[in-house]
Structure 1
Amino acid sequence: MDLLEEYRRANFFFESGDPLGASRLLEPIIEAEPHNSAVRQLLARAYFNSAQLNAAETHLRALVDHDPSDHYAHHVLGRTLERAGRFREALPHLRLAAAMKQQPDYQEAVRRVETWLGKSAAE
């Protein structure tokens, strides 16, 4: 198997709106290249976009463990936890990502989760 060609195909599937197809192509690649962060990140995003949140979380935690300064991995991990309704777990990752990189969508995610937690605490 040509891993680079399969990765390119998976990226095409992902960009074309087929995260399930992308994840099927990426799973054997990550088995062959378990330390490849680019493959792991795309696989995590494919899982996130196809609502396979537990699988996404597993790969995102591996990325964060490998490189704690990866703001994007923290952001997507926070978004994954948010999407799973685990707001208290999501907030530290979202805040860390927003502190590391000034991105409007990072700031918006922090505000959204803080707002939800504020409403939740008031109820």
Structure 2
Amino acid sequence: MDLLEEYRRATFIFESGDPLGAARLLEPIVEAEPHNAAVRQLLARAYFNSAQLKRAEAQLRLLVEHDPSDHYAHHVLGRTLERAGRFREALPHLRLAAAMKKQDDYLDAVRRAETWLGKNEAV
């Protein structure tokens, strides 16, 4: 198996709107190349986009563990936890990503989680 060609196919399939198909191609590549962050990140995004949140979380935690300065991995991990309704766990990752890189979508995610927690802590 040509891993690079399979990665390119998986990227094309992901970008074409088929995250499940992309994940099926990416899983053996991650198994063969466990330290390849780009492949692992795309697999995490494919899991996120196909609502496989536990699998996305597992991949993203490995990325964050390997490179704690990866703002994007922190952001997507926070978004994954947010999507799972785990706002309290999401907020530190979302804040860290926003502190590392000023991007509107990062700041929006922080505000969303803070708002949700603020409204629901009073209940």
Asked if 1:76 corresponds to 2:76, the answer is yes
1:90 deviates by: 0.1
Other structure's SS at 2:51 match: coil
Question: Residue type of the partner of 1:24?
Answer: R
Residue 67 of structure 1 is matched in structure 2 by: 67
- Correspondence 1:1-123 to 2 at 5 A: 1-123=1-123
1:29 deviates by: 0.3
Question: Residue type of the partner of 2:48?
Answer: F
User: What TM-score comes out, normalization by structure 1 length?
Assistant: 0.99
| Alpha-carbon separation, structure 2, partners of 1:102 and 1:94 | 11
| Alpha-carbon separation, structure 2, partners of 1:19 and 1:121 | 35
Residue identity over aligned pairs, in percent, reads 85
Q: Which runs of 4+ in 1 moved over 3 A?
A: none
What are the ranges of 5 or more consecutive residues in structure 1 without an aligned counterpart? none
User: What TM-score comes out, normalization by structure 2 length?
Assistant: 0.99
What are the ranges of 5 or more consecutive residues in structure 2 without an aligned counterpart? none
Deviations 1:80-112 (A, max 9, x none): 000000000000000000000000000000000
| Alpha-carbon separation, structure 2, partners of 1:17 and 1:117 | 32
1:122 deviates by: 1.6
CA RMSD of aligned residues (A): 0.3
Other structure's SS at 1:69 match: coil
| Alpha-carbon separation, structure 2, partners of 1:6 and 1:53 | 23
Aligned length: 123
1:5 deviates by: 0.3
